[in-house]
Amino acid sequence: MATSFWLDEPYTPRGPLEGRASADLVILGGGVTGVAAAYHLASRGCRVALIERQTVAGGATGRNAGFLLAGVATCYSVAVKSHGREQARTLWSVSRDNHRLIREWVDREAIDCLYARRGSYTLALSEQEYTEHVRSAKALAEDGFRVELLEAPAAARLFPGSGVRGGLFNPDDGEIHPVRFVRGLAQAAERRGARIFEGSPVSGIERSPGSVLVKTPTGTLEASMLLLAANAWTPLLHPFFAGAIVGMRGQMLATEPCPRPVIPAPVYADFGFEYFRQLPDGRILAGGGRRAALDQELTYAEVPSGPVQASIESFLRSCFPGTERLRITHRWAGIMGFSCDELPSVGPVPGSVNVYVAAGYHGHGLGYAVLAAKAAGQMMLDGRTDVPLELFSPRRHQAE
């Protein structure tokens, strides 16, 4: 079946936008970013409205692995090479603060979303990858982050039969049921006065210095300010992001419950191209496989494909003995917003005085989106934010 495991639960969507409506601020996108922004802004007394084309958490938010990991998809040493030491340190710090904020909101609103902090493992499949992990462990420790280097014997004890060379254990990482978290937060936002419209695809946006008018097939909404929180769909809503953010398909599968624990905590492997998680009921979630058909995954088609699904399944069976006979119960795909430089865009859109963005997380939305949403809200209401997001500024995409 093509339904995400997370979305395979009873749900009654809210009604669409109908007629004419107004708000102080309108958010486009009902994923983790948009809902987190609605919650933050409504908590501050803002008249906020959120418009979602399908259902809340129905896009990439409801189709990922639910990992709360520090940093970006690549390991710390590679991030240092790509972005510099100071910026890599900032990326890990911001994602750590994002995790802390998620936990705070889960506790405050008593959201039942399987939140846990068991840490995560980053496993090396080759000597080259393990060398990067050794470098990462040293640099992370120097920069104040908790990490444990796993040499081959320790990795073999934790993952017998996997053949991994070694890896890292990141004790502060966590995991969550992403749909229950975001839909629970949406209800909390509504309790604070936010209005949420589902089943309302945007058919047009009229912008002027003092207002924005969002059009849908059944209604219009006028507001003073606009937040673009549609991740991969952002370029379809604003031409500035054409080429800066693109849609990239991510695919996953879920098994029936495994009778014994085989994955002690969320796992990243092969430089982040493969990832796994075992739920409390024993089910195993596996994702990745993109190397099997890279040229086909640059798409907006939310449909699982044979080559990638076969690759995910094969990798799971080979790395985790005991999973060979588990029946696959769910196969699905979701569209992630990949950015041209691996980093999200958060802040005012160049050329606009009342349009802001928080999008393009490069597959790590749960690692940054909640804090990014709060920061965007602070910038919209206060003109500034206390979150160090200078390297996420959309201005970096302007042609020189």
Tens-digit pLDDT profile for residues 199-211: 999 999 999 888 9
Mean pLDDT of the chain: 96
Closest CA to 120 of 285, 251, 277, 258: 277
**Structural domains of the chain sorted by starting position, each given as residue range(s) with its CATH number in brackets:** 117-173+246-339 (3.30.9.10)
- What is the signed CA dihedral for 235, 238, 240, 242, rounded to 10 degrees? 20
| Side-chain half-sphere exposure of 240, counting CA atoms within 13 A | 18
Query: Quick one: tokens of 195?
Result: 């209005």
With 0.85 as the threshold, say if the pTM is over it.
Answer: yes
User: How far is it between the farthest Cα atoms of the chain?
Assistant: 65
Please give the Cα distance from 300 to 314 (Å, whole number): 25
Confidence band of 399 (pLDDT split at 50, 70, 90): low
Residue 2 to residues 5, 7, 254: CA-CA distances in angstroms?
Answer: 9, 10, 11
pLDDT at 162: 87
**Backbone dihedral angles phi then psi of residue 199, each to the nearest 5 degrees:** 60, 40
Q: How many CA atoms lie within 13 A of 308 on its CB side?
A: 26
- The neighbouring-strand residues paired with 254 are 285, 330
Model confidence at 183: pLDDT above 70: yes
State pLDDT tens for residues 214-262.
Answer: 999 999 999 999 999 999 999 999 999 999 999 999 999 999 999 999 9
